[in-house]
Structure 1
Amino acid sequence: MPQLAQLIGTSPAMTAIRNTVEKVADSAASVLITGPSGSGKDVVAQLLHQRSRRAAQPFIALNCAAVAPDLLESEMFGHEAGAFTGAIKARAGRFEAANGGTLFLDEVGDMPAAMQAKLLRALETRVVERVGGMLPIHVDVRLVAATSVDLHAAIDRGLFRSDLLYRLDVIRIEMPPLAERPEDIPALIEHFDIALGGPPVRFSPAALAVLMAEPWPGNVRELKNFIERAKAHHPDEIINSQALPTLMRARHRSAGGVPEPGVDLSSAAPLHPDTMPMPLMDSPIDLRQLLADLEQAYIRAALAASGGTISRCARLLGLQRTTLIEKMRRMQIDIGRA
């Protein structure tokens, strides 16, 4: 029996997504899940299936970006023997495999234009034809698609069909980046710790506060990889904030980061956990208040380092400019040059 998907976290964003899943799971309408890479779009797709009346039927996934363009039609619709070089025998496609259940098309925004037209026809007619075949095959499939790209911008560039977007975007679920729901990080750490097995990973309150203030550009996937690395290097130990730079070095090196045009970050004072006001303690703390204080301290430090320029400050913090402005308004920090 497949493991049940779980949406980890009690933040307002995750609570709203969980409620939406419960409301629309039994609908036959297509669902479009948007959000940055690594934010958990695949988990939402699985949960939609598992909460639906189709749960006993197949859940079939296809990553459109991971299949060569000339093979995508065969993967999606199947092929008959001899349809092309290497097609030794007939093979059902993902639509047929998902009949009665759910088909999850990940990274649908990377689908070639020719395939977009064929997918649109399949969705409208509920009929597919194998490559090299002549017989129509009727399918009963609930389609869930996901993308990490802006499909409206792709339409403007002529890379995506607007009629396909309207067909996919009947119900939309937007996954937030992890940086916008830091209060969920402790629960995610516990979840990954248990799922990965082995000796438990434990963080001091100060280290946990640092992790909650990190931008996590790779989102939940990156946090999982970090926890796996932490468990390997510090099995059954309490990891303090001084140990974090070494564990995070690989992430910062791989994340790279491209400065905004016209913004020179080379002279900005670095933001480092040791410069921030964090209590190093082993006694119980009010984690929510600690996070709020830490977040405000980081924003003020970044504003000072960036000379009060909002876009530059947002880049230092790994936030969207609009997200930073909203946080500053909520904290009553002078927006100044926003």
Structure 2
Amino acid sequence: MHTTKAITRRVIYFTRDPSPTLLAQFQGRDWDVEIFRSVREVRQALQDGSLTGGLVDLTSVFEPKQAAEFEACLAMPNVGWVAMAAAAQLDDPTTRRLVRDYCFDYVTLPGTDARIVDTVGHASGMISLGEPFFIDASTAEGDMIGSCEAMHALFRRIRKVAVSDAPVFVSGESGTGKELTAAAIHARSPRRNAPFVAINCGAIPPHLLQSELFGYERGAFTGANQRKVGRVETANGGTLFLDEIGDLPFESQASLLRFLQGNTIDRLGGTGSINVDVRIISATHVNMEAAIEDGRFRADLYHRLCVLRIDEPPLRARDKDIELLALHTLDRYRKDASRRLYGFSPDAITAMHRYDWPGNVRELINRVRRAIVMSEGRTITADDLELSDFVAITPVTLAQARETAERQAIELALLRHRGRPGDAARELSVSRATLYRMLTAYGMREVDDGESRD
């Protein structure tokens, strides 16, 4: 008779003195047990990132002087650790902290083999529920991720403009990821194997812009001891990303316009023009129409730069993506935590969705990174994100909501009709008697006593 063998599960057994009866108990339940005797062996075995249960025998492998090395081992996110410890060990503050911060559970020795195996099985199951963050290709474009319609529209736009060689203008608030959009366009373009050079136009002083962009020859000025190739020439054959173009000083805009019109540059101190082939992508948070109207930006330069336009959505318009981005950031930087973190608490998720994110994705990343370092619990809370003000709201029942709406409607109707209940009742499509009953019930009985009642 043919039988199907059960799927073998993996467990890391970190001990210098393995128990034969415990091994037999694991094997009897189809666990594949791997025994390791040092932190180094464990870390080497887990470098592939595979998920596994872990059993650490603190009575045989832990020494207080190796606490830092031991902590780094237990912090590996792909293992669900269970600790075995003697009762006396758990009185030690260092041991207690390691167990509390990095283990799913612990067993005080002596304990039954069956209970130990059950506990490891539970930890293994829990770690499989919290496996490392995975980005679906359909929700990503380059280093950007997003599942909302606004981001899917952005991804479609990126793919369309990438095949063209026309200049692209990326508009959006600070922190929305404009440089990531530019990099994604370059990565999908025919120029993908050539350089992508980014320049922050607002960070270069006007007197240095010419030499930074176009370079200079040796001896062009005092201190020019050798030729310098400018950023534009460095990008030859590829893409030149002009970030914060709206902050480019007005006196520098003419030089950039001349380059865009002729696709040539002149090094300072040079004797001839150099042909340069680059695709221009520019970006800014500035309202360019207002800048042109105020005389801060040249209209002719703007029209050269803005042939194809992409508008970057702010994070507040990407509600579905907020938790996705937070989890991605946690997965990317979880190694900075002083303890194992298991995601975000419900109040943190609520606060993130209620907050307006004026700093957009950049602010979200910064808040999550700070919370990873400062968190003292097993999950990141709204307080860790410094968003606790966006959690607490007074619960409202349907009856309370209805009363509030009715009170407001009555107050406005009475205001419009100078306190005359009859006229207010007609506007509200209720009888005057009904309106009087509502006024009494809501403590609003301040009307003209001369009005007759129905």
* Same-fold call, TM cutoff 0.5: yes
2:243 is the counterpart of 1:102: no
User: Structure 1 277/92 Cα, relative in aligned 2: closer, same or farther at 3 Å?
Assistant: farther
Gaps of 5+ in 2: 1-140, 413-454
User: Structure 1 117/230 Cα, relative in aligned 2: closer, same or farther at 3 Å?
Assistant: same
Alignment-derived partner of residue 319 in structure 2: 182
Cα contact 2:315–2:361 (8 A) shared by 1: yes
Alignment-derived partner of residue 49 in structure 1: 186
Alignment-derived partner of residue 207 in structure 1: 348
Cα contact 1:201–1:236 (8 A) shared by 2: no
User: Structure 1 276/30 Cα, relative in aligned 2: closer, same or farther at 3 Å?
Assistant: farther
List per-residue Cα deviations over 1:34-82 (Å, max 9, x = no partner): 1111110010011011111111110000001111111111111111112
- Counting only pairs closer than 5 Å after superposition, residues 29-178 of structure 1 correspond to structure 2 as 29-178=166-315
Aligned partners of 2:393 and 2:387: how far apart in 1?
17
Using the TM superposition, give the Cα deviation of residue 161 of structure 1 relative to its aligned residue in structure 2, in angstroms: 0.5
User: Structure 1 272/55 Cα, relative in aligned 2: closer, same or farther at 3 Å?
Assistant: closer
Alignment-derived partner of residue 275 in structure 1: 393
Amino acid at match of 1:18: F
Gaps of 5+ in 1: 250-270, 279-296, 309-338
Aligned partners of 1:248 and 1:273: how far apart in 2?
7
2:351 is the counterpart of 1:233: no
Amino acid at match of 1:184: D
User: Structure 1 229/85 Cα, relative in aligned 2: closer, same or farther at 3 Å?
Assistant: same
Amino acid at match of 1:34: S
Aligned partners of 1:137 and 1:105: how far apart in 2?
20
Instruction: Please state whether the residue corresponding to 1:239 is helix, strand or coil.
Output: coil
Seq. identity, % = 44
Aligned partners of 1:276 and 1:179: how far apart in 2?
23
Alignment-derived partner of residue 144 in structure 2: 7
User: Structure 1 5/87 Cα, relative in aligned 2: closer, same or farther at 3 Å?
Assistant: farther
Aligned partners of 1:277 and 1:166: how far apart in 2?
53
Alignment-derived partner of residue 224 in structure 1: 365
Cα contact 2:375–2:384 (8 A) shared by 1: no
Instruction: Please state whether the residue corresponding to 1:33 is helix, strand or coil.
Output: strand
Aligned partners of 1:155 and 1:231: how far apart in 2?
43
User: Structure 1 16/272 Cα, relative in aligned 2: closer, same or farther at 3 Å?
Assistant: closer
Instruction: Please state whether the residue corresponding to 1:188 is helix, strand or coil.
Output: helix
Cα contact 1:7–1:14 (8 A) shared by 2: no
Alignment-derived partner of residue 19 in structure 1: 156
Cα contact 1:200–1:235 (8 A) shared by 2: no
Cα contact 1:201–1:230 (8 A) shared by 2: no
User: Structure 1 276/55 Cα, relative in aligned 2: closer, same or farther at 3 Å?
Assistant: farther
Instruction: Please state whether the residue corresponding to 1:134 is helix, strand or coil.
Output: coil
Bigger share in strand = 2
Cα contact 1:59–1:102 (8 A) shared by 2: yes
Amino acid at match of 2:352: L
2:28 is the counterpart of 1:28: no
Using the TM superposition, give the Cα deviation of residue 114 of structure 1 relative to its aligned residue in structure 2, in angstroms: 2.7
Alignment-derived partner of residue 421 in structure 2: none
Aligned partners of 2:249 and 2:220: how far apart in 1?
20
Amino acid at match of 1:203: F
Aligned partners of 2:330 and 2:145: how far apart in 1?
13
Aligned partners of 2:387 and 2:351: how far apart in 1?
11
Using the TM superposition, give the Cα deviation of residue 197 of structure 1 relative to its aligned residue in structure 2, in angstroms: 4.0
Alignment-derived partner of residue 329 in structure 2: 192
Amino acid at match of 2:393: T
Cα contact 1:226–1:248 (8 A) shared by 2: no
Cα contact 2:206–2:251 (8 A) shared by 1: no
Greater RCO structure (CA 8 Å; 6+ sep): 1
Indicate the structure (1 or 2) with the bigger Cα radius of gyration.
2
Aligned partners of 1:211 and 1:277: how far apart in 2?
19
Using the TM superposition, give the Cα deviation of residue 205 of structure 1 relative to its aligned residue in structure 2, in angstroms: 2.5
* RMSD between aligned residues: 2.4
Using the TM superposition, give the Cα deviation of residue 137 of structure 1 relative to its aligned residue in structure 2, in angstroms: 0.7
Alignment-derived partner of residue 93 in structure 2: none
TM-score (norm 1): 0.71
User: Structure 1 276/187 Cα, relative in aligned 2: closer, same or farther at 3 Å?
Assistant: farther
Using the TM superposition, give the Cα deviation of residue 235 of structure 1 relative to its aligned residue in structure 2, in angstroms: 6.5
User: Structure 1 248/205 Cα, relative in aligned 2: closer, same or farther at 3 Å?
Assistant: closer
Aligned partners of 2:391 and 2:189: how far apart in 1?
45
Moved more, 65-74 or 99-108: 65-74
Using the TM superposition, give the Cα deviation of residue 190 of structure 1 relative to its aligned residue in structure 2, in angstroms: 1.8
Amino acid at match of 2:392: D
Instruction: Please state whether the residue corresponding to 2:144 is helix, strand or coil.
Output: coil
Aligned partners of 1:235 and 1:214: how far apart in 2?
23
Amino acid at match of 2:358: P
TM-score (norm 2): 0.53
User: Structure 1 194/89 Cα, relative in aligned 2: closer, same or farther at 3 Å?
Assistant: same
Give the paired residue count. Answer: 256
